[in-house]
Copies of this chain bind each other. A is one copy, B any other.
Amino acid sequence: MTRMLNMVQAIRDALDVKLAEDNRVLVLGEDVGVNGGVFRATDGLQDKYGPERVIDTPLAESGIIGSSIGLALNGFRPVAEIQFLAFIFPGLEQVFAHAARMRYRTRGRFTAPLVIRAPYGAGIRGPELHSESLESLFAHTPGLRVVAPSNPYDAKGMLISAMEVDDPVIFLEPTRLYRAGTRDVPEGSYRVSLEKAERLTEGRDVSLFAWGAMVPVALRAAEQLEKEQGLSAEVIDLRSLMPLDKETILSSVEKTGRAVIVHEAHQTAGLGAEIAALLADEAVWCLRAPIKRVAGFDVPVPPFSVEDAYLPTTERVLAGLKEVVMAE
């Protein structure tokens, strides 16, 4: 059985499934209980599972993440919601110094399998600090898994996988896609890999890498490229940002010889750099063009009246694709 769900509904469904089947799973955070989350991702769950399993916490992110680590140490599987990704800043010490290292430090004796869910990214006319993309900070931190789904099906399957894997997972939810469309989503449990990228279109001429809310942008740009130039882009949704699915990345560029990477985080030291660096090391002989990044500019995400210009647009991605396919 499947239903058409949007991403918020799919995420709620994943939490519902695991809360029902695994009594170690807890949901906690600011406004996740009575209010059902500011995006309603936890709507109805407290009514169903009670206030001991779906918990409104004080307004303190270090407290939320730090106590989740303690809950995980002692047998639970906490799923902590950070209301918007940048509000994880006060909790970064707990993430960097502890969640990521508990297993390593104790040589496997203690582990911290928690999931930190957070809406991320711009494009929803949010106030300041409601639009950040920080994936490269987490990808640079050994011990963490970092994932970002781009559609309701993946969101549910990946969140279920995240609640089952024995590592801490940073689960990035592209706010802009929360209600951007629906998909057939199976009822009950299913898993989507936390390590595999997905090839969304087959292409010959250029590889186009994206994740989260940039996936639809990449797809539109690829379509446009096909229409305008009759050239085909291979669009790859990375899904897992740490670890990266190197095999899929490399094999695509080995075929196309060209790569464009799209992300909405700032360009400098963003995750696009890592992908470009991988290619510049291991696929350099196949490269037939410069590797282009189309990314958020190296400025703080600006006030919402101009945020669209901060973000990679279809036009900017298309321009990047054209530069690359016309190079040589």
Contacts and interface: CB of A to CB of B under 8 A. Distances in A.
Interface string A67-110: 00000000000000000001001101100110011001100000
Contacts of A266: 140-142
A194 to B, nearest CB: 16
Interface in A247-288: 265-266, 268-274, 276-277, 279-282, 284-285, 287
Range for the number of chain A residues in contact with chain B:
35 or more
A310 to B, nearest CB: 11
A120 to B, nearest CB: 14
Given A86-B97, A136-B136, A280 B291 contact: yes
Nearest to A302: B104
A280 B287 contact: yes
A268 B280 contact: no
Interface stretch (A5-13, A152-160, A171-179, A292-300): A292-300
A161 B62 CA distance: 35
Contact of A277 (B104, B105, B277): B277
Interface in A171-206: none
B268 A281 contact: no
Interface of A: 62, 86, 89-90, 92-93, 96-97, 100-101, 104-105, 128-129, 136-137, 139-143, 242, 244, 265-266, 268-274, 276-277, 279-282, 284-285, 287, 289-293, 298-300
16 contacts: A62-B90, A86-B96, A89-B96, A92-B92, A92-B93, A140-B270, A141-B266, A142-B266, A142-B299, A242-B268, A269-B269, A276-B281, A277-B277, A280-B284, A281-B293, A282-B290
